[in-house]
Structure 1
Amino acid sequence: MSEADERPRRRQARGERRVAQLLHAAASVFCAVGYTASSTNAIAREAGVSPGTLYQFFPNKEAIAVELSAQLIKEMEAAHGRVFTSEIARLPLDRLIDEVTDPFIEFNTANPALLALIKGPDAPGRVTDDHGVLHDSLLEGVTELLAVRKPSLSRMERALIAEVSFAMFKTGLNLVMQHEDGEKDVYVRELKTMLHRYLAPYVGIGAVPAP
C-alpha cells in the first residue's frame, strides 16, 4: 500500500481515537454534574482539547449525549443477549437471578453515564427513545425466561410478573448505584433476595429439567 493510501487510514484512526476520547470525557462530566448542567466547554476541558477541536466532531452537547447513549445501549444489548437463554431459565432460581442480574449490575457500575443520561429531566429525545426500545427488549427477555421456566403461566401472568420483576430490579439498581464497595454488596444481596422471594411462588426455586 502506498503512502498516499495510508494517509486517509491514519486520519480516520486518529479521528476515531479523538471521538472515543471525547465520549469518555462526556461520560465523566455527565456523571459528575448531570446532563443539564454539563457543557461542551466542560467536556472539552475534561478531554484536554479545545472547544474548536470538539466541534470538529460534534456540533453540540446533545449530539455527544446521543452518540454516547447509543454506544452504551449497544454494549448492554450485547450483554443481555448472553443471559436470556433457555439454559439459564432452567437453573435453580438463585443461580438464575445471579446470571441475569450480575451482568447488568456490573455494566451499570462500569458505565454510570447511561443512568445519568436517562434520569436527566431534559435528556435528548433520541436518548429517551433508544432507552425505551432497550427497556422493551429487556422486558421481553424476562418474559421469555418465565415462559421457559413455567410454561403453565398464561401470557397475561408472564407479562405481569415480568413487568413487576423488572420494576423491582430497576428500583434496586438505583439504590445499588448510590453506594460503593462493601455497602454496594449489601444492597445487591437485598435486591436479589427481594427478587427471589417475589418469584419463588410463581416459578419455584429448584432447577427445571429440559423437556
Structure 2
Amino acid sequence: MPDDTGPRRRQARGRARMEQILQAAAAVFGEVGYEAATTNAIAARAGISPGSLYQFFANKDEVGRALAETYAERLATLDVLAGFRADSLDGALRDALDRITAFNIDHPGFKALFARTDMPASMREAVAPAHAAIEERIRGAVAAVLPHADQGRVHTTATVILSMVKGLLPVIVAEADDDRRRALADELHRGVLAYLTAVRREVDQD
C-alpha cells in the first residue's frame, strides 16, 4: 500500500498557506481598499515573501477572486436569506439584515469586494462569479416574497434592494457607537421593508 503521508501533508500545508494569504488579504482590503492593496502588502501581512504568495496566486485579482468565492460560500452556509415568505417578511428581513451586518463586521474585507457601486473593471471581473451567486440567492428570496411577480419584476426588485444594502451597509459597519449602529440598521430595514411592501402591493393588484 503506497505511503501518501508526504503528499497529504504537503496538501494540508498548501491549504493552510492559502488560508493564511486570504486572511491577510481580507485585512489589507478592509484597511486600504482593493485598489490600494498590493500583493507585497498582502504577503507582508501574511508573514511570507511575495514569491511564496505567487506560488498560489498569480496576482491581486486572483487573490480577490478566491476571497470573494470564500465569502460567497460562507454566506451560503449561513443561509442568511432563509425563511423569506410573504407572511413573515418583517421578521425575516430584520434577521437577514442583522446577519449580513454581523458577517461584514466579522469579515473586514467583504465590503471592499461586495459593498461598492463603483468597482473598477479588474475588480468586477475578479469577483463576478461570487457576485452572481449572491445575486441569485437574493432573487430567490425576492421571488418567495413576490410569488405572483414575473421574472423581470423580481430581477429589478432584487437589484434595487441590493443597491440599497450596498449603499448603507458600509456606513452601518463603520459606526463604532452601538446605539447609532442599531438606529442606522433600523432605517435600512424600514427602507427595504417599505419598498418590498409597495412592490408586493403593486404586483398583487395587477
Asked whether the two chains share a fold, i.e. TM above 0.5, the reply is: yes
Worse-superposed segment, 129-138 or 47-56: 129-138
CA distance in structure 1 between the aligned counterparts of 2:54 and 2:153, rounded to whole angstroms: 50
CA distance in structure 2 between the aligned counterparts of 1:121 and 1:51, rounded to whole angstroms: 24
Q: Percent of aligned pairs with the same residue?
A: 30
Task: Find the counterpart in structure 1 of residue 81 from structure 2.
Answer: 83
1:111 equivalent in alignment to 2:110: no
Which residue identity lines up with residue 174 of structure 2 in the other structure?
Q
Which residue identity lines up with residue 187 of structure 2 in the other structure?
E
Which residue identity lines up with residue 26 of structure 1 in the other structure?
A
CA distance in structure 2 between the aligned counterparts of 1:160 and 1:11, rounded to whole angstroms: 47
Task: Find the counterpart in structure 2 of residue 167 from structure 1.
Answer: 163
Distance 1:161 1:5, change over 3 A: closer
CA distance in structure 2 between the aligned counterparts of 1:180 and 1:173, rounded to whole angstroms: 13
Write the mapping of 1:53-132 to structure 2, written as runs, cut at 5 A: 53-80=52-79, 83-85=81-83, 88-118=84-114, 119=116, 120-132=119-131
Distance 1:157 1:60, change over 3 A: closer
Which residue identity lines up with residue 53 of structure 2 in the other structure?
L
Write the mapping of 1:1-211 to structure 2, written as runs, cut at 5 A: 4-80=3-79, 83-85=81-83, 88-118=84-114, 119=116, 120-148=119-147, 151=148, 158-182=154-178, 183-201=180-198, 203=200
Which residue identity lines up with residue 94 of structure 1 in the other structure?
D
Q: Structure 1 length as normaliser, TM-score?
A: 0.77
Matched residue count: 197
Q: Structure 2 length as normaliser, TM-score?
A: 0.79
Which residue identity lines up with residue 65 of structure 1 in the other structure?
G
Worse-superposed segment, 113-122 or 187-196: 113-122
CA distance in structure 2 between the aligned counterparts of 1:83 and 1:144, rounded to whole angstroms: 12
Distance 1:59 1:154, change over 3 A: closer
Which residue identity lines up with residue 193 of structure 1 in the other structure?
R
Which residue identity lines up with residue 190 of structure 1 in the other structure?
E
CA distance in structure 1 between the aligned counterparts of 2:134 and 2:15, rounded to whole angstroms: 29
Q: Runs of 5+ in structure 1 lacking a partner?
A: 205-211
Check conservation: 1:35, 1:123, Cα contact below 8 A.
no
CA drift at 1:90: 4.6
CA drift at 1:191: 1.0
RMSD: 2.8
The structure whose Rg is larger is 1
Q: Runs of 5+ in structure 2 lacking a partner?
A: 202-206
CA distance in structure 1 between the aligned counterparts of 2:150 and 2:50, rounded to whole angstroms: 56
Which residue identity lines up with residue 15 of structure 1 in the other structure?
G
